[in-house]
Amino acid sequence: MEQIKLVIVGGGFAGINLAQKLSRDERFNIVLVDKNNYNFFPPLLYQVATGFLEASNISYPFRKFFQEKANLRFSLGAFQEVFPNERRIATESGDIYYDYLVFSTGTETNYFGMENVKKNAVPMKTVRDALALRNHILLNKERASKMQDSNERKKLLCIVVAGAGPTGVEVSGMLAEMHKNIFKWDYPELNREEVQIYLVDALPVVLNPMSKKSQEDTLEALQKLGINVLLDHAVKDFENGVVTFGNGKQIETSTLIWTSGVTAAELPGLPREALGKGRRVLVDSHNKVLGFENIFALGDICLMTSDEKFPEGHPQLAQVAIQQGKNLAANLPRLIEGKPLNDFHYVDKGTMAIIGVNKAVADLPGLHFKGFIAYFLWLVVHLFSLIRYRNQVKTFYNWMVAFFTRDQSLRFIMDAKPDK
């Protein structure tokens, strides 16, 4: 029997779970396409950015992961366009033909049309972003330690984090902990009172998707860490070292960390009628792209309105992507066997956010936790969500060192550009 060619574009939570599950079915010849040669764990990017984890802790090469899977291959190259009539996609490294195609390309940073913010802010979406942010923060500390002009020094030591969702809360909390426990020893030349961290958001609350209790506990914990939380403050511009808000207020800073929004990655070749709000791909209850019988979309990039508990679409969370990947892995064999497909229904297992050491919040079904219990739950869930045992061991070791010493010796300034 000739194998069915399945092409998966994007090796994030949804794509890797789908590929892993179907690699056990010899009827499928699977090709996973990605612009990176590694899978990485986005929820821990901020710990790479702040020097508490190495990039290799949260990343794993696709080819090594696929070594013992005979029907699974990897192709490096960014997706360019799909040609549905020819069952073909174009990538940077060439054309690939398919019988079934799955998009799981995730999202990209949304700057809401603000070109100055796009040009000058530091995003937090990829491993490269995290490493660039680490370099940026450390270089600013080095410059500030030599700066004689007090106004310029304060500007270098001021950090504005835009977006009070989980990523914004976590990165601002970690930076505050570092200033309290680490930077005072690394940079004795600097005055701690000059360091200012702002967490800003256009909404009136932090952690908007979480419970009111979690929002209140988080706001209190952030303020105790010395973070200036500015709610109802929508960023409108960032130019010449000045963040300007919609209400006219301004903050002088050399660092705007942008965690404020995402939009679905562009998929040239799909018709406009297949796209919904935020460029998300419209899918039915089986994640099949509307108007197509052999093209599917999973995770953050898709918009499914058939799930009765989520009529406006699912939240763009890792658990949704993981569950959709597993559901499609069960459905594709049923599809080729002519059996009825299983509808997708998201099971909400809860939401968590970490603020600092022993400071976290967790909303589980019917339960709310804060403090050490939530912190411990967050550590366990994220540790076992890493893709390989090797990543889990290295991350656990780094976390234990950081927990007992309140420090981690990974604060390297490493420019990715080659020496000339």
Mean pLDDT of all residues belonging to the chain: 92
- Higher pLDDT, residue 308 or 390: 308
pLDDT computed for residue 420 by the predictor = 41
Give backbone dihedrals phi and psi of 380, rounded to 5 degrees, phi first: -65, -50
pLDDT (tens digit per residue) in 358-417: 899 999 988 999 999 999 999 888 888 887 888 888 888 888 877 767 676 678 887 755
Separation between Cα atoms, residue 294 and residue 390, nearest integer Å: 36
pLDDT at 99 over 90: yes
CATH code given to domain 115-260+350-405: 3.50.50.100
Given a contact cutoff of 8 angstroms between Cβ atoms, the answer to whether 44 and 20 are in contact is no
pLDDT band at 305 (very low <50, low <70, confident <90, very high): very high
Q: How confident is the model at residue 132, as a pLDDT?
A: 93
CATH number for the region 4-35+77-109+263-336 comes to 3.50.50.60
314-323 pLDDT tens trace = 999 999 999 9
Q: What's the predicted TM-score (pTM) here?
A: 0.91
Give domain limits for the chain. 4-35+77-109+263-336, 115-260+350-405
Render 105-172 in DSSP notation, one character per residue: --EEE--TT-HHHHHHSEE-SSHHHHHHHHHHHHHHHHHHHH---HHHHHHHHEEEEE--SHHHHHHH
CB 255 within 8 A of CB 241: no
Q: Is the pLDDT of residue 287 over 70?
A: yes
The whole-number average pLDDT for the span 152-162 is 95
The CA distance from 17 to 75, in Å, is 17
Identify any residues that bridge with 162 across adjacent strands, giving them in sequence order. Answer: 200, 258
